[in-house]
Amino acid sequence: MTFESLSRRGILGVFAATTVAAAPVMANAFGLLRGAGDIRRIRMYSGRTGESIDTVYWVEGKYIRDALNEINIFMRDWRTGQAIGFDPRAIDIAAASHRLLQTNEPYMMLSGYRSPQTNAMLRSRSSGVARNSLHMVGKAADLRLKSRSVSQMYKAAAACNAGGVGKYSRSNFVHMDCGPIRHWGA
């Protein structure tokens, strides 16, 4: 069976054995992260800065402050150098999606935090940039994988049922955020 042939229900069923009770918010994403030890790990690189990150940021029920600080710096607005506290729930969604995709390839991060100035500049160039983007509050990331299609990434993120997921096929990336559950670009 290929990943393309799996339905959302099928994906969740595959991981049902590893799902455990978690906080009501983001329960599916949290449950999908369990099973390989009680850790959460994120692997990404930035083509813009040349930086990479490969860190365990949660162990046995607790976020690791130093790892979150490292993620905050990595996810900064590369145009301004400005960083804020990135919402760990957004990282949880990315990590859960990555786990569903069963790849060791790190994500390529195209956009994490965006300052209001950067968001306004991008909005002036594209109708696809939201005025009140969750990127501006550290709750969204635009990600790409060479080894997986945009459709595969979109399906994995949507299967987490834990936030917003946008499919941008022409630009070859998926938007993942920890805002309200919604999907677009399908």
CA 128 to chain CA mean position, Å:
18
CA distance 35 to 48: 33
Task: Give pLDDT tens digits for 45-96.
Answer: 998 999 999 999 999 899 999 999 999 999 999 999 999 999 999 999 999 9
Under DSSP, the state recorded for 49 is: T
CA distance 80 to 132: 18
Task: Give pLDDT tens digits for 117-169.
Answer: 999 999 889 877 888 899 999 999 999 999 999 999 999 999 999 999 999 99
Under DSSP, the state recorded for 146 is: S
Predicted TM-score (pTM) of the model is 0.80
